[in-house]
Amino acid sequence: MDSDLSPQDKKDLDKFIKFFALKTVQVIVQARLGEKICTRSSSSPTGSDWFNLAIKDIPEVTHEAKKALAGQLPGIGRSMCVEISLKTSEGDSMELETWCLEMNEKCDKDIKVSYTVYNRLSVLLKSLLAITRVTPAYKLSRKQGHDYVILYRIYFGEVQLNGLGEGFQTVRVGVVGTPVGTVTLSCAYRTNLAFMSNRQFERSAPIMGIIVDHFVDPPCGVQRPANVGHPCNYRAPDEDDGGLFAGVQDSQEVCTTSFSTSPPSQLYTSRLNYHPPALAGAADLSHPAANPNQVMHRSATGQFTNAPTSSQPRITLPLFLLCSGDDDGMSQSGEGRSVSPSDPVESLNAFTRKIGAFVNKPTTQMTAANLDLPFAAFAPRGLDSEENDPMVTPPDSPACPSPLQASLHSQGSESSGQQDDFVMVDFRPAFSKDDLLPMDLGTFYREFQNPPQLASLSLHISSQSMADDLDSLPEKLALYEKNIDEFDAFVDMLQ
C-alpha cells in the first residue's frame, strides 16, 4: 500500500496525521469548556500554527492525547476517540457524544501529500470548529457550572458507542483521502437526554473518575482507573507539580506554513534531511533522543519529562478564565520539569525553531539544530545569523510565572480546599467581572443572602399594632367629626 509513497511523503503524512489528531482533540475539548473561544488571525506566518489555523494548545489536553496515542497514529482499526460526558453534582453521569477520528482502507494514491492533503486537513479542522458548536452538547457545556460539569476522555482503539443510549445520531464532519487510507472524522451524539439516576455502572467502579482535586486525593498506591475522564477545565500548576503543564505552549514541532507555486513534484527535490522524532512511545519523549538531531522541546516547555503516574495530584485551572484569548498570559513558566540536556548537540536543539514547511533553505543553514524539522528545506531564508535570530537563541524564559498564571493559581487554590465529594465551583454571579477584589459581587451576595426580617413584617408586632389601632379608633372618629368643617374647607380648596 505504501510502495508508491516516497519516504519523505510518508514521514510528512505521518506528521500531518499526528498533529491533526492532536489539534482535533484540542478543538473538541476547547469547544466544551463552556466559554467562547477567540483566537487572532495573523497575516504573517508564525510557523507554529498547524494547518494555518490559530488553535491554542492546552498542555494537559495535549498530554492526555499523546498518552492515549502512545506513539501510534490513527489507522485502520485504530481510532482515536474523544468522549464527552456530563457529570452532575450528585454524581450521576451521562455520555453525551463521542468524536471519532478513523482511517479506512480507501486510498487515494494520486493525491499530493504536502499540499492537497494538508489543505484538506485544514478545511476539515474548520469544519470541526463549526460542527462542535452545533451538536447538543455545546449548549449544555455553555451552561455548566454548579449543577454539572462536562468531562472528556480520550482513548485509542475500538470505538465505543454503547453509552450514548438509544437513538443516538451520527454526523460526519468530513473525510480526507490520503495515499495510505481515508481519514474520517465523525461524531455520534446522544439524543435522549433524560437522566437516569440509578446507573448500574456508576456506583461501584465509575467508568470515569474525576481528575479534579476538589475531590479527596486517592490514597497512595491506589491506581486511578486507566480510562479516566477529565473535566473540561484546568488549573494552574501548584508548586508540587513543578510546572508539569507549564503554560499554553505553541506546538512542539514546526508546522507547514510555506508552499510552492511550482508543481508539487518539485517540492520534494529541494527538501533536505528530515528526522522526525520517533513515534515509538511515551518513553521517547522523556529520554534524550537516540538521534541527536531530533529536536526535543522539553527544555522550552518543561513537558513530557518522566510523566507522572496517574496518582499524582491533578492540576486544574478555573474553567472560566481559560480562554483569555491572550497567548502571552499563558507563556512559559514552571521550569521544574525541565531537563538539562548534557549532550551539547541536544542543547543546541533545545529551542523551539519555528520554520515553515516547504520553505526552501540552503544546505548551510541546515545545521544539527534543525535537521529534524519537517520540511526544513523550506525554512525561511534571509536569516542573518543564528546568533541574531530570536528563534535560535530565544530570550530567557521568565523566572516567575506570568501574572495571569499567578492569579489563576491563587484563584484555583481558593476553590481547592473543598474536601466534599461533589464538584464545587466558585460562585460567580452574573455580570461579575473580577472575583479577586475583596468586596466583589459574589461576596456581597453571600453576605447578604439571609438578611434579617423586617420588623414591620413580624407577626406579633403587627398584631399588637392592630389591636392598638382598633382601640384608638373611636377616639379618632370623634376627633374627625369635630373637625369636619376644616376637612370640607380643605377639599374645597383643592378643587
Q: Are 372 and 293 in contact (CB under 8 A)?
A: yes
Residue 176 sits in the site that holds another protein (CB under 8 A) = yes
DSSP element (H, E) containing 171: strand 169-178
Contacts of 271 (CB under 8 A, 6+ apart): 8, 375, 376, 377, 378
Give CA 93 to chain center in angstroms: 20
Residue 192 sits in the site that holds another protein (CB under 8 A) = no
Q: Which stretch binds another protein (CB under 8 A): 117-125, 308-316, 363-371, 422-430?
A: 117-125
Residues 26-55: x where in contact with another protein by CB under 8 A, - otherwise, as a string: ----------xxxxxxxxxxx--x--xxx-
Q: How far is the CB of 369 from another protein (least distance, A)?
A: 20
Residue 383 sits in the site that holds another protein (CB under 8 A) = no
Residues 54-83: x where in contact with another protein by CB under 8 A, - otherwise, as a string: x-----------------------------
Beta carbon nearer to another protein, 284 or 389:
389
Out of 360, 407, 416, 443, the only residue in the binding site for another protein (CB under 8 A) is 360
CA–CA separation, 113 and 14 (whole Å): 10
Residue 363 sits in the site that holds another protein (CB under 8 A) = no
- Hey, which residues between 259 and 278 contact another protein (CB under 8 A)? 259-262
Where in 365-476 does DSSP place strands (E)?
Answer: none
Q: Are 323 and 329 in contact (CB under 8 A)?
A: no
Out of 381, 420, 465, 473, the only residue in the binding site for another protein (CB under 8 A) is 381
Q: How far is the CB of 270 from another protein (least distance, A)?
A: 9
Residue 127 sits in the site that holds another protein (CB under 8 A) = yes
DSSP 463: H
Residue 138 sits in the site that holds another protein (CB under 8 A) = yes
Q: How far is the CB of 35 from another protein (least distance, A)?
A: 8
Beta carbon nearer to another protein, 73 or 359:
359
- Hey, which residues between 332 and 351 contact another protein (CB under 8 A)? none
CA–CA separation, 472 and 464 (whole Å): 13
Out of 11, 126, 275, 428, the only residue in the binding site for another protein (CB under 8 A) is 126
DSSP element (H, E) containing 65: helix 59-69
Q: How far is the CB of 461 from another protein (least distance, A)?
A: 42
Q: Which stretch binds another protein (CB under 8 A): 66-74, 134-142, 306-314, 482-490?
A: 134-142
As to burial, measured by CB atoms within 10 angstroms (0-12 exposed, 13-18 middle, 19+ buried), residue 79 is: buried
Q: How far is the CB of 257 from another protein (least distance, A)?
A: 5
Closest CA relative to residue 145, chosen from 442, 443, 448, 447: 442
Beta carbon nearer to another protein, 38 or 466:
38
CA–CA separation, 142 and 152 (whole Å): 15
Residue 106 sits in the site that holds another protein (CB under 8 A) = no
Out of 28, 68, 131, 208, the only residue in the binding site for another protein (CB under 8 A) is 131
Q: How far is the CB of 332 from another protein (least distance, A)?
A: 20
Q: How far is the CB of 190 from another protein (least distance, A)?
A: 15
Question: Concatenated DSSP letters for 349-387?
Answer: H-S-----TT-B--GGG--TTTTTSTTTTB-------TT
CA–CA separation, 72 and 376 (whole Å): 23
Closest CA relative to residue 34, chosen from 190, 148, 177: 148
Cell of 398: 521568565
Closest CA relative to residue 141, chosen from 66, 216, 248, 31: 31
The per-residue b/e assignment along 129-166, b for 16 or more CB within 10 angstroms, e otherwise, is bebbeebebbebbbebbeebbbbbbbbbeebbbebbbe
Q: How far is the CB of 84 from another protein (least distance, A)?
A: 16
Residue 171 sits in the site that holds another protein (CB under 8 A) = yes
- Hey, which residues between 392 and 451 contact another protein (CB under 8 A)? none
Residue 181 sits in the site that holds another protein (CB under 8 A) = no
Beta carbon nearer to another protein, 266 or 347:
266
Applying CB under 8 A, which residues contact another protein? Answer: 36-46, 49, 52-54, 115, 120, 123-124, 126-127, 129-131, 133-134, 138-139, 142, 171-177, 257-262, 356, 358-360, 378, 380-381
